[in-house]
A and B are shown apart, each in its own frame.
Chain A
Amino acid sequence: MGSLSGLDPVTLKAGLLLVFSAVVLVVLLILRGRGRRAVEIRPLSAFRDLQADMGEAAESGDTIHIALGTGGIDGPEAVISLAGFEVLEAVAGDLVSYYTPPVVTVGDPTLLFLAQDVMRRAYERRGLADLYDPTRVRFVAPTPLAYAAGTSQIVATDDLTASVLVGAFGSEVSLIADAGRRQRLPHMAAMATADAVGALYPVVADMAIGEEMFSAGAQVTGRNRSLAGLAAQDVVRVVLVAAILLSGLSAFLRGGL
């Protein structure tokens, strides 16, 4: 991970100001949202279909596959992986109740234990701790292409009703989606990189793109804390867009554009 010491003082101060403003906003919105619904959010079709996929899994006795990607929790992709965990946590409980626990694949060993922990707690909460099977969470491979190859094999051979792709991926995610397409599986995807978005766009009709993936927690759980985070994200985004437009306009007026 790099250091910020190479940045010029103005950029560093702007960054500090942004972080500080975001801290204040998140705290204020969380306090305001306590005990009542913080904000109304725009429902994303990518997450809405997840409930239908779970219902189908319950009826058929098969299950869904959740791919959390190759980002670990020790690097810059940690928060992207956490967005994947929010989806996993939201669906794990219901799927365990239906006796159709999901098959979870990870491409980083640090995700393996966290995903196993989410599944174990889902079993414990429903009083089914004895049925917990840690091998439903699978560490496939630590490199993107090998992970995609191994996960494609799982998608092709396991009895699944849907495939959910949420986490840090690159263009190799196309291999997993293609394996699912051959099995006629519906896909739900949330991607944060241009490579992955471009690779999945032809295959997956409903996809959460970029910052939309960080709304996963709010979309699928509706928790106030997640909703407050989403509201703070929207406010900071508007401020940032205004700052970019103003700096562009200022450069234009000074003849520097």
Chain B
Amino acid sequence: MSLVRKWVLIFTATLTGGLVLLGYLLPGQRTLVLLRSTLLEWAVVVVAFAFLLGLGNILRVHGARLVRVSPGWVYSLILIIAVAVGLIVAFVGTEASLTQSVYTIAARPLGASMAALLLFTLVAAVFRLFRARRSFDAVVFLIAVLLTLVLSTPFIGLGPTLQGPREFLVHVLGMAGVRGLLIGVALGTLISALRVLLVGDWPHSEAS
């Protein structure tokens, strides 16, 4: 890639990122806020087109599996049929009875099933943990999970008594951990974003 092209890319990205950042940090500057909104609207348009191309990727990957009769081709067939139905639904509108039927009969029950399966997977993983890893951390994790589950159970007559320990476990100890995690992530986000804006360190770009 030519040096000019590289620096044009870096300049454009840095300028755009800097303007959006300033639009957030200086909310009193109307021009910057307006510029920020306009740039974000453009981003939304790009994302909408990305979805169309993403659909193309799904059809290409699963179409190829279907043609080659690869293992799991039946799932690919079902997926392609689902995509076709989804497209029809998109054209008839959200109020149409067909759309409502698709959501009621297929989308919602499938979503609920996946959520239930997820819960089962999480609980099974916790109970497998102690067999796989007998470390101090694992013991603490297991005790915390069991305590939270037990204290959340509505024992008759013990509700108010258990409320205090549960509140302490979830809202003091748990929340402290979550806040620590959030502060760390916020710091990492800030520094990584500045690295991208200041020095064109883009792992995803030819300018890197």
Q: Which residues of the partner chain B approach A129 to less than 8 Å between Cβ atoms?
A: none
**Interface residue? A161 (CB, 8 A):** no
Q: Mark A132-173, 1 if CB is under 8 A from B, else 0.
A: 001101111010011011000100010000000000000110
**Interface residue? B104 (CB, 8 A):** no
Q: Which residues of the partner chain B approach A30 to less than 8 Å between Cβ atoms?
A: 198-199
Q: What is the CB-to-nearest-CB distance from A78 to chain B, in angstroms, rounded to a whole number?
A: 8
Known: A4-B27, A110-B47, A121-B206. A19 touches B190 (CB 8 A): yes
Q: Which residues of the partner chain B approach A205 to less than 8 Å between Cβ atoms?
A: 133
Known: A74-B43, A174-B121, A229-B191. A82 touches B184 (CB 8 A): no
Contact A19 B25 (CB under 8 A): yes
Q: Mark A72-96, 1 if CB is under 8 A from B, else 0.
A: 1010000110110110110000000
Known: A138-B61, A145-B115, A229-B192. A3 touches B187 (CB 8 A): no
**Interface residue? A10 (CB, 8 A):** no
**Interface residue? B188 (CB, 8 A):** yes
**Interface residue? B164 (CB, 8 A):** no
Known: A110-B47, A135-B57, A210-B181. A83 touches B24 (CB 8 A): no
**Interface residue? A128 (CB, 8 A):** no
| Bound CA span A16–B16, Å | 19
Q: What is the CB-to-nearest-CB distance from A69 to chain B, in angstroms, rounded to a whole number?
A: 14
Name the residue of chain B whose CB is nearest to the CB of A7: B27
Name the residue of chain B whose CB is nearest to the CB of A210: B184
**Interface residue? A15 (CB, 8 A):** yes
Contact B203 A202 (CB under 8 A): no
**Interface residue? B88 (CB, 8 A):** no
Within residues 190 to 214 of chain A, which ones have a CB less than 8 A from any CB in chain B? 192-194, 197, 199, 201-203, 205, 209-214
Q: Which residues of the partner chain B approach A85 to less than 8 Å between Cβ atoms?
A: 203-204
Contact A26 B203 (CB under 8 A): no
Within residues 144 to 186 of chain B, which ones have a CB less than 8 A from any CB in chain A? 177-178, 180-181, 183-185
**Interface residue? A44 (CB, 8 A):** no
Instruction: State which of A110, A149, A178 has its C-beta within 8 Å of the C-beta of B114.
Output: A149
**Interface residue? B67 (CB, 8 A):** no
Contact A118 B54 (CB under 8 A): no
**Interface residue? B58 (CB, 8 A):** yes
Q: Which residues of the partner chain A approach B75 to less than 8 Å between Cβ atoms?
A: 153
Contact A192 B133 (CB under 8 A): no
Contact B27 A5 (CB under 8 A): yes
Q: Which residues of the partner chain B approach A27 to less than 8 Å between Cβ atoms?
A: 198
Q: Which residues of the partner chain A approach B47 to less than 8 Å between Cβ atoms?
A: 72, 74, 109-110
Name the residue of chain A whose CB is nearest to the CB of B75: A153
Contact B204 A139 (CB under 8 A): no
Contact B206 A194 (CB under 8 A): no
| Bound CA span A23–B22, Å | 13
Q: Which residues of the partner chain A approach B115 to less than 8 Å between Cβ atoms?
A: 145
Instruction: State which of A178, A212, A236 has its C-beta within 8 Å of the C-beta of B190.
Output: A236
Q: Which residues of the partner chain A approach B201 to less than 8 Å between Cβ atoms?
A: 217, 223, 225-226, 229
Instruction: State which of A117, A153, A199 has its C-beta within 8 Å of the C-beta of B122.
Output: A199
Which 7 pairs between the two chains have the least Cβ-Cβ distance? A109-B54, A214-B188, A211-B184, A5-B27, A202-B129, A109-B50, A210-B184
Question: B residues touching A (Cβ–Cβ < 8 Å)?
Answer: 21, 24-25, 27-28, 33, 40, 43-44, 46-47, 50-51, 53-54, 57-58, 60-61, 64, 71-72, 75, 111, 114-115, 117-118, 121-122, 124-126, 128-129, 132-133, 141, 177-178, 180-181, 183-185, 187-196, 198-199, 201-206
A–B Cβ pairs within 8 angstroms, 22 of them:
A5-B28, A26-B194, A72-B47, A74-B46, A80-B189, A89-B204, A110-B46, A118-B203, A140-B58, A153-B75, A171-B122, A174-B125, A177-B125, A192-B181, A193-B185, A194-B177, A211-B188, A214-B189, A214-B191, A226-B201, A229-B192, A232-B194
